[in-house]
Structure 1
Amino acid sequence: MHRRNLIRGAVAAALAPAAVAASGAPAAAARRGAGELPGFDVSNYQRGIDHALAAAQGQRFAVAKAGGCQLAEGPYVTSSYAGHVDGARAAGLRVGHYWMSGDFLAPVAAADYFADHLHDYRPGDVLALDVEVLDDSTRLWDDGDVAAWTHRVRARVGPFVPWFYISTAALRAAAWDRTIASGAHLWAAAWGRNDGTWPGPPDLGGRYPDWAVHQYTSVGSAGGVAPVDLNLARPWAFDVTEPTEPPPATGLPKTSTEQDGVPGPVMWRRAQNWLRIESGYTGPIDGVPGPNTYAALQRNMRNWGYTGPVDGAPGPNTWAAVQRLAAAHGYTGPIDGAMGPHSWRGFARFLNQDRWD
């Protein structure tokens, strides 16, 4: 979403067409499948929504933004979160909680923060991950990130109802095998003309078995508030799931340098493993860089403009090449050979790719 307000939930009761029309849900209800349920998602932008009125209008679920990690100042809890959960539950709506992904917490740490700050979570509630690039973040979480978050939430709360929110354009641009195996229901965002009516089923491009929830407009209204994101959910979207495969085997941990810009042993272990795979490094994966690590780094940096000797003694020319690599992964500062927090963050983002685990 272009606003900070995602993820949703629903009820397992079919609605009569008259109730659907009253809810602000799609006028072309005949095109929908039987039993699909209208609902909405909310954040601070919908702080004044009347959840009881929304329920009377035919809405059946509400998903409240719990917080996120897309802001440079760090993870946070959305100030309207508890009020939305309490209001939706009091109105008899099915309740969901969603987390905004971002650059400033790794997936497992983000899942822990989310689980630690859930408000009135009850078994059967939706727990959703919003995957998009907003605010201070620059990288879309990938298949491994989403799966890691989902597995970690399950480890914290037990079997649950997992939703994975993403635009259909971003969905079609990647593979999501590990996310599918994690049991996450797809919450697909596709607005079409974005005129408040349902544009028909979202185009998944064969990347996911099926959609469970469709966010079809960002200009709807509900509970006396507009604009509101409106959704359709299939009844099975609220089924608790288990993974079809065990969590991926744990390799090297991700480095927090991507978030804090401070290089450390975990970052260098990942660098050594990368250099082992690509550049002939044969030393230990111990996170303590020495001449052998730096020599392999210099060999690799020839791909990024380094023309100096492979002597294991890095200087400004070596680090300028590292900055060019970092620039391909979000670094936007000068190529001056002076590594700082922003340079290290871009380098660490490269190293945090699953292929270097």
Structure 2
Amino acid sequence: MKFADVIGNDSVADALVSMADSGRVAHAMLLYENEGSGALALALAYVQYLNCSNPHDGDSCGECPSCRQMSKLIHPDVHFVFPVNKGPKSSDDKPTSESYLKYWRELAIADPYFTEADLQKAIGIESKNGLIAVAEAKSIISKLSLSSVSDGYKAVIFYLPEKMNQETANRLLKMVEEPPQKTLFLFITHAPEKVLQTIFSRCQSIRVLPLTKEEARRVAELKPEADTEELTTFMDLFSDLLYAVTSRDLTGALECGEMMAALESREKQKAFCNFAAVCIRKIFMIQQKLPQISGVSEDENLFYEEMAAKCPKGFCMRSVANIEKVVAMIDRNVNSKILFCDLVNRMFMNI
């Protein structure tokens, strides 16, 4: 991927190009974003630029052997790590990212703005929590101990390092602290506060900004039709919940809670929670008289203006905090019916 193909975050792209051109390449970098803002696209463009044989005008050429390999995500010196688990698409007893690499490539090439739920679906583990286990660290250490195939950088792109356990981090620590020459670690996180401190503290952190309305529209055009249908389903459920809560319809609100709990997988439940949190933040921005950065489109404006008027002060921040707690509890396999019933009750009491 070229920087020219990345949607949004031009300032981040410019900073990455400046680092590469000046030779001040951080050996460990953490890109943190709201899900779907383009951190992976930026990471791919950065690695492609670093290894390009003929970069010009602040971008890779897209035509040299290295660029062609990167366009297919088959560069021999670029490795990918992401949360996995046992599933029908791999027969490995202890699967690693390598076990699902085919599906990762297909997903990332088609849509580098994919969500965690998209990844879980692509590799066939929708009903399980993905993990970055110690076997992953052993695999990466082994790969990086080999000589570089090209004269460029060896790179490891970690997607969601917050899914890494302590044992994995301990195995990787020395390699991250003292990597082989011209070796780069890129960590992409949606929750920097959950990244283990042993890893976080050794990285240069870069904030990837949320997309503007127009940028989000362009990204949405990349999404398969099924994703668009899912967003419509989520919006219908969220609006039903808010209308029930703000009209003091407890029965209707609890019915919405049951529908949330009935979503087909834990990842789908988390995806809805993340969607709802984004929507509530939009309401908060309108309440703060900041519609220009709310991300609300014209066809959504009536709903969000109405909710901003109906929701009392403090409701939005408390609701987002409660939703984030639900996401954490889903990861711990707490009963979803209990979680969503409690969430709805808390939202109802805060109105």
Q: Which has the higher contact order (CA 8 A, sep 6+)?
A: 2
Same fold (TM over 0.5): no
With structure 2 as the length reference, what TM-score do the two structures score? 0.30
Structure having the higher strand fraction is 1
Larger Rg: 1
With structure 1 as the length reference, what TM-score do the two structures score? 0.29
